[in-house]
Amino acid sequence: MRPSAVRLLNILVPVKRAVDYAVKIRVNPQQTGIDLNVKHSMNPFDEIAVEEAVRLRERMKDAVKSIKVVTIGPAKSAETLRTALAMGADGGIHVEIPESAPAPEPLGVAKTLRAIVEREKEKANVDIVILGKQAIDDDMGQTGQMLAGLLNWPQATYASKVVIDEANRVAHVTREIDGGAEEVKCKLPVIITTDLRLNEPRYASLPNIMKAKKKPIEKLSPSDLGVDLTPILETLKVTEPPKRVGGGKVENVDELITKLKEAGIEAVKS
């Protein structure tokens, strides 16, 4: 009996150039958004996603054929791709949008990623898409789930552990949920979103960054993929949370009652 050919795995990791984690977020004067003239870097959850892909290859060796990273953003987003390539990805895809364009919404991103997965099918099927669970600048946390819906693939979100059984084409994922963890088994191809505790991303050393410059980055535009990234949501207003008002101490019970009355709290008539 001839053994069935084991198909090698292709992993796609979307990454986002987001506001750096250490930056103090400020609302812009027009109250339409946050000040974006600050340091940006790869979304930390996406770093964890790239790291997980690289670790899967280290564990599974030749079973992983390729790790591709993709980003949607202006020209500067190419830096984020280079960092991912320096961490161990093989090649990148940059869906370039104009600098002045509004930030893509999760549904737009998911549609773009679907188009990329369909496009990659012509060369090699994507088996696993690993995404960060949310971006730290908008905290939407929707893209992975929307992509799973659009592609009709199973999804395992908030992953804290990933084991791929390539022979049976199944993923065993431990998920972080309120009150503990649950283990799910999904058939490939699968969407996985990463939680903070999945792994500790590696540092991209200078020699690796130099090597990454030789790795290929394909440039595409949203129209090449047949996707319209025009926002369908309108942000009405963005404000900072109300400033915390300090509490006060009272000397005795009478003062406490006086203060409560001032605040409009009446005693219950017994």
Partner 1 sequence: MATKANRLRVLALYKELHRLGRDYEPSYDFHGKLRRMFEKNRNLTDAEEIEKAYNLGEYIKKETLALYSLRKYRHLKRMYPPNSTSDP
Structure tokens at 141: 């946390």
Cβ neighbours for 34, distance < 8 A, ≥ 6 positions apart:
19, 25, 26, 27, 28, 137, 238
Output the smallest distance, CB 198 to partner 1, in A: 12
Question: Contact between 5 and partner 1 (CB under 8 A)?
Answer: no
Query: From the list 3, 179, 242, 248, which residue makes contact with partner 1 (rule: CB under 8 A)?
Result: 179
Distances (CA, A) of 184 to 84, 162, 169, 253: 28, 10, 14, 56
Question: Contact between 134 and partner 1 (CB under 8 A)?
Answer: yes
Output the smallest distance, CB 234 to partner 1, in A: 21
- Which 144-173 residues touch partner 1, going by CB under 8 A? 158
Cβ neighbours for 207, distance < 8 A, ≥ 6 positions apart:
none
Query: For the chain, what percentages of helix, strand and coil (3-state, to nearest 5) are there?
Result: 30, 25, 45
Question: Contact between 244 and partner 1 (CB under 8 A)?
Answer: no
Question: Contact between 234 and partner 1 (CB under 8 A)?
Answer: no
Residue 67's CB: how many other CB atoms inside 10 A? 24
CA–CA separation, 85 and 92 (whole Å): 7
Q: Which lies closer to partner 1 via its Cβ, residue 153 or residue 158? A: 158
- Which 197-216 residues touch partner 1, going by CB under 8 A? 197, 200, 203, 205-207
Q: Which lies closer to partner 1 via its Cβ, residue 66 or residue 83? A: 83
Question: Contact between 196 and partner 1 (CB under 8 A)?
Answer: yes
How many DSSP H helices and E strands does the chain contain? 6, 11
Output the smallest distance, CB 219 to partner 1, in A: 27
Query: From the list 7, 27, 33, 44, which residue makes contact with partner 1 (rule: CB under 8 A)?
Result: 44
Q: Which lies closer to partner 1 via its Cβ, residue 131 or residue 136? A: 136
Question: Contact between 21 and partner 1 (CB under 8 A)?
Answer: yes
Q: Is 128 helix (H, G, I), strand (E, B) or coil?
A: strand
Q: Is 218 helix (H, G, I), strand (E, B) or coil?
A: strand
Question: Contact between 141 and partner 1 (CB under 8 A)?
Answer: yes
Contacts with partner 1, residue ranges (CB under 8 A): 21-22, 44, 134, 136, 139, 141, 158, 176-180, 196-197, 200, 203, 205-207
